[in-house]
């Protein structure tokens, strides 16, 4: 009977102990939760700080890229332009030792320009500041254009380029393969892949582009016969600054960014890119892009333009030269006629009107020298502009009786060819008046030197206020405009032009170190407007474009005058 109170007391003590233990445990849990909450708050604060720091770093990176874009591209463009003028022989011939030093300087300047352009391209794409310009693209046209672009490089390496066009059998020929994409960016991918393949291919080998397609995708394969990529580097080669071997950058050139840029472009198109070793030798690069078939995906008819007014005659006994020159001119909208001999050329000029003649000097039978003399001796053909295509230096042009209006030395650069052709085809009374608005005096000097032989009067303004004074004093035919000026910017200058009725439709070439967005371009458009990027477009190419624009504008004006008031 007396044990019951004792047992009750023990039970009470046990219950109290359990309760006390529970309270202590709850206290520890609450303390742990408080500590976890404090840590979470601290982590959240740190995350916010990191986001803030990352945002600041991104801003600094964007500012750095913008600074690099202008501050490096402008002097590099000056350097490359000056080297190009020296190499062209316009200021005299150089001895072999000087030419070798000039070649070294030019090669390394081009390498630095490619590196800067690649870095800026990659950063713009990955930051979303390079939106795609989506349109309907023809697979065959892009492949053929890429091969044509890279053929000179392939020839230098004695490598053959070939398009192997098949697409799931006869039911889907490549001519009927279209997809939605940015044609310039996809062309950049193809040329980068071909460039890599050429550099790592042995002499006398072949690099092939294979095409295939399904109902929902397009597959491109670039196959080379080179040494191949090691299995452990098949993925790494798409990373920045990656080379298969450390010595490749020095021995074979390149920036190590080409494949990284390709990957970024392909991913922007919701596609994929990868590399694979071939069974015997070489490497295959695969590009797969989404495809949306349409009922309108049929091969477009190729218009045949009959020879007539405005045709350009190419006279050269080398068929390959005629093919190359004809291809370049046709893409620029010219009608082209070919002649393989001087005798054939003289017959053609009597049968139909010509706008100009491109003439090789050394041909069997009637040479180019004799052909030119006969053209000049005949009153009906004496006024036809002639541009000589020759392995000889242009310094010898003064020795030719009758003289030619233009001269392009072989092997020629197509931009120089267009510049000479545009110069000799210049229409209008008196030289065109061009205003160059550029704050960098060195680059301005190089640009103006490129126009020295052209029928163009060019004035230079280094500030916005100077440019305004020039425009008030005399209306330019065309303005070449840099956007960074010491007393304002190109945008405010264009806005001023818009407010002047005689100037609001001024033809404009924007030549800037900055990459421009669509919105910025729309703010800069006046009349016919072209946008060029320094370092990507060299000074002699600016001359080519300006002369072409002047010629088109004056031709249009002459047509309106001839049409009379009804036009």
For CATH 3.40.50.2300, list the domain ranges present in the chain.
311-424, 432-563
Cis status, amide bond into 417, omega within 30 of 0:
no
Which one, of 539, 556, 555, lies nearest residue 436 by Cα?
A: 539
Q: Which CATH architecture has domain 135-290?
A: 2-Layer Sandwich (3.30)
Tokens of 191: 């040329």
Fold that domain 432-563 belongs to in CATH: Rossmann fold (3.40.50)
Decide: 423 and 415 in contact? Cβ < 8 Å.
Answer: no
Position 459 scores a pLDDT of: 92
Q: Counting Cβ atoms within 10 Å, is residue 106 exposed (0-12), middle (13-18) or buried (19+)?
A: middle
**Cβ count near 236 (within 10 Å):** 14
Decide: 455 and 427 in contact? Cβ < 8 Å.
Answer: no
Question: Using CA atoms, how far apart are residues 173 and 175, in angstroms rounded to an integer?
Answer: 5
Q: What are phi and psi of 235, to 5 degrees?
A: -90, -35
Q: Is 8 left (phi over 0), alpha (psi -120 to 50) or beta?
A: alpha
**360 DSSP 8-state letter:** E
Question: Using CA atoms, how far apart are residues 241 and 227, in angstroms rounded to an integer?
Answer: 20
Position 567 scores a pLDDT of: 40
Tokens of 112: 């630095």
Decide: 506 and 527 in contact? Cβ < 8 Å.
Answer: yes
**412 DSSP 8-state letter:** P
Position 298 scores a pLDDT of: 52
Residue 437 Cα distances to 37, 135, 553, angstroms: 62, 34, 21
Question: Using CA atoms, how far apart are residues 465 and 471, in angstroms rounded to an integer?
Answer: 10
Which one, of 415, 338, 340, 350, lies nearest residue 384 by Cα?
A: 350
Class of the 311-424 domain? alpha beta
> Which sign does the torsion angle of CA 296, 301, 302, 306 carry?
negative
Position 480 scores a pLDDT of: 93
Average pLDDT for runs of 10 along the chain of length 567:
57 65 70 77 77 72 65 81 80 82 84 79 72 83 88 90 67 68 89 90 91 83 87 79 57 68 87 85 88 57 39 86 79 80 90 84 83 85 82 53 65 63 59 89 87 83 90 87 87 88 83 82 86 82 80 61 47
Question: Using CA atoms, how far apart are residues 317 and 260, in angstroms rounded to an integer?
Answer: 44
For CATH 3.30.565.10, list the domain ranges present in the chain.
135-290
* pTM for this entry: 0.53
For tokens 């959240």, what's the residue? 44
Tokens of 226: 């080179």
Question: Using CA atoms, how far apart are residues 306 and 325, in angstroms rounded to an integer?
Answer: 18
Decide: 341 and 370 in contact? Cβ < 8 Å.
Answer: no
Give the distance from CA 32 to its chain's centroid: 61
Give 489's strand partners: 484
At CA 419, angle to CA 413 and CA 420, rounded to 5?
Answer: 95
For tokens 């279209």, what's the residue? 178
Q: What are phi and psi of 132, to 5 degrees?
A: -75, 145
* Beta pairing class for 488-489 and 484-485: antiparallel
Question: Using CA atoms, how far apart are residues 520 and 24, in angstroms rounded to an integer?
Answer: 68
For tokens 């192997």, what's the residue? 164
Decide: 454 and 543 in contact? Cβ < 8 Å.
Answer: yes
**How many C-alpha atoms does 132 have within 13 Å on its Cβ side?**
20
């Amino acid at each position: 009977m007396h044990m019951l109170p004792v047992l009750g007391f023990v039970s009470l003590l046990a219950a109290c102990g359990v309760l006390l233990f529970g309270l202590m445990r709850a206290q520890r849990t609450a303390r742990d939760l408080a500590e976890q909450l404090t840590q979470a708050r601290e982590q959240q604060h740190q995350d916010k700080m990191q986001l803030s720091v990352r945002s600041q770093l991104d801003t600094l990176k964007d500012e750095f890229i913008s600074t690099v874009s202008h501050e490096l591209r402008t002097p590099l463009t000056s350097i490359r332009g000056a080297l190009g003028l020296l190499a062209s022989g316009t200021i005299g011939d150089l001895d072999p030792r000087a030419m070798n030093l000039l070649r070294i300087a030019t090669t390394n300047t081009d390498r630095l320009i490619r590196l800067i352009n690649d870095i800026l391209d990659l950063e713009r794409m990955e930051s979303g500041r390079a939106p795609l310009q989506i349109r309907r693209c023809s697979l065959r046209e892009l492949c053929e254009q890429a091969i044509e672009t890279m053929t000179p490089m392939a020839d230098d390496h004695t490598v053959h380029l070939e398009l192997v066009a098949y697409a799931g059998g006869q039911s889907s020929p490549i001519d009927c393969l279209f997809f939605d994409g940015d044609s310039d960016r996809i062309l950049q991918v193809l040329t980068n892949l071909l460039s890599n393949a050429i550099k790592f291919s042995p002499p006398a080998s072949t690099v092939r582009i294979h095409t295939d397609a399904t109902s929902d995708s397009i597959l491109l394969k670039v196959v080379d016969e080179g040494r191949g990529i090691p299995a452990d580097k098949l993925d790494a080669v798409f990373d920045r600054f990656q080379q298969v071997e450390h010595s490749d950058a020095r021995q074979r050139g390149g920036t190590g960014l080409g494949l990284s840029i390709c990957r970024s472009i392909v991913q922007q198109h919701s596609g994929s890119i990868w590399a694979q070793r071939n069974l015997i030798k070489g490497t295959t690069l695969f590009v797969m892009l989404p495809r949306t078939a349409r009922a309108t995906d049929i091969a477009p008819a190729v218009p045949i333009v009959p020879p007539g007014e405005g045709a350009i005659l190419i006279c050269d006994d080398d068929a390959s030269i005629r093919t190359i020159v004809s291809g370049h001119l046709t893409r620029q909208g010219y009608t082209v006629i070919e002649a393989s001999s001087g005798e054939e050329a003289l017959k053609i000029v009597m049968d139909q009107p010509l706008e100009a003649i491109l003439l090789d000097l050394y041909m069997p039978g009637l040479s180019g020298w004799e052909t030119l003399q006969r053209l000049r001796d005949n009153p009906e053909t004496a006024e036809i502009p002639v541009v000589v295509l020759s392995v000889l230096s242009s310094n010898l042009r003064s020795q030719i009786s009758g003289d030619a209006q233009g001269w392009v030395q072989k092997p020629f650069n197509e931009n120089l060819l267009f510049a000479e052709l545009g110069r000799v085809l210049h229409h209008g009374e008196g030289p065109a008046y061009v205003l160059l608005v550029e704050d960098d005096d060195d680059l301005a000097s190089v640009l103006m030197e490129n126009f020295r032989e052209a029928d163009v009067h060019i004035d230079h303004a280094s500030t916005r206020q100077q440019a305004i004074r020039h425009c008030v004093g005399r209306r330019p035919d065309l303005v070449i405009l840099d956007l960074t000026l010491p007393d304002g910017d190109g945008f405010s200058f264009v806005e001023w032009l818009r407010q002047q009725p005689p100037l609001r439709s001024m033809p404009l070439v924007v030549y800037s170190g900055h990459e421009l967005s669509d919105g910025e371009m729309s703010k800069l458009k006046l009349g016919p407007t072209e946008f060029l990027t320094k370092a990507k477009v060299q000074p002699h190419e600016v001359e080519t474009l300006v002369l072409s624009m002047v010629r088109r504008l004056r031709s249009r004006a002459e047509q309106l005058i001839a049409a009379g008031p009804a036009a």
